Amino acid sequence: MTREELKNYLPHREPMLLIDEIDIDDQHVAHAKYHVNGDEFFLQGHFPGNPVVPGVILCEIMAQSCALLMKEDLPGKLTFYTGINNVRFKNQVLPGDTVEVDAVLTAHRANIYFCDAKLSVGGKQCVSGSLSFALVPRTEK
C-alpha cells in the first residue's frame, strides 16, 4: 500500500502519518517503511545540532504499522493504545534513515488487539515491543 492508500484506513494525516508504504504478507506480518528526511517537526528540538528521532515517535511508527494488520475492522473506527509493554530501545534513528517495521497480530479479544513489533534501520534493530489497542467508534466533531 502506498501513502495515499493508507489514508483509506488510518485517520492520521501529515505531519502525524508516519508510514510511507506497507505490505502485509501471506503470514499476516506487516512490513512497513518510513523515511526520516530530517525536516520532521519532532526533530526540530530533539536535539539541536544532533537530531535523533524520539522514542515515542518510534513507538507511534510501530503502532501505525500494527493498526494496518486489523484494516478490515478499521472503517468507522479509531485505534487507541491500551498498552505498550516490554519496549526496548537499542539504537538511534537519525535523519536520512529508512525505518523498517515488522509487526504481527498476536491475539484479538472483542475490540482489543495485541501485536508485537520490531523497528530496524539497515537490518540493525532499534526498537521492539508489544502493543495493544482498542478499536472504538469514530465520532466526528
**Hey, what's the cell of 21?**
508504504
Q: What is the pLDDT of residues 23-56, one digit of tens each?
A: 999 889 999 999 999 999 999 999 999 999 999 9
- Quickly state the pLDDT bin for 117 (edges 50, 70, 90): very high
- Quickly state the pLDDT bin for 139 (edges 50, 70, 90): confident
**Hey, what's the cell of 59?**
513507538
pLDDT of 141 > 90? The answer is: no
The more confident residue out of 100 and 11 is 100
The pTM of the full predicted model, rounded to 2 decimals, is 0.95
Q: What is the pLDDT of residues 71-113, one digit of tens each?
A: 999 989 999 999 999 999 999 999 999 999 999 999 999 999 9
Task: List alpha helices for 19-68, DSSP H.
Answer: 55-67
pLDDT of 140 > 90? The answer is: no
Q: Which residues contact 115 (CB under 8 A, 6 or more apart)?
A: 66, 69, 103, 104, 105, 106, 130, 131, 132, 133
Helices (H) and strands (E) in the chain, counts: 2, 6
pLDDT of residue 127: 98
For 110, other C-beta atoms within 10 Å of its C-beta total 7
Q: Which residues contact 28 (CB under 8 A, 6 or more apart)?
A: 69, 104, 105
pLDDT of 67 > 80? The answer is: yes
Distance in Å from the first CA to the final CA of the chain: 29
* Residue 17 identity (one-letter amino acid): L
**In which element (H, E) is residue 89 found?**
strand 77-89
Question: Which entry of 12, 31, 46, 108 is annotated as an active-site residue?
Answer: 46
Would you call 46 a catalytic residue per the annotation?
Answer: yes
Largest CA distance in the chain: 46
Please name each of the domains of the chain with its CATH number. 3-137 (3.10.129.10)
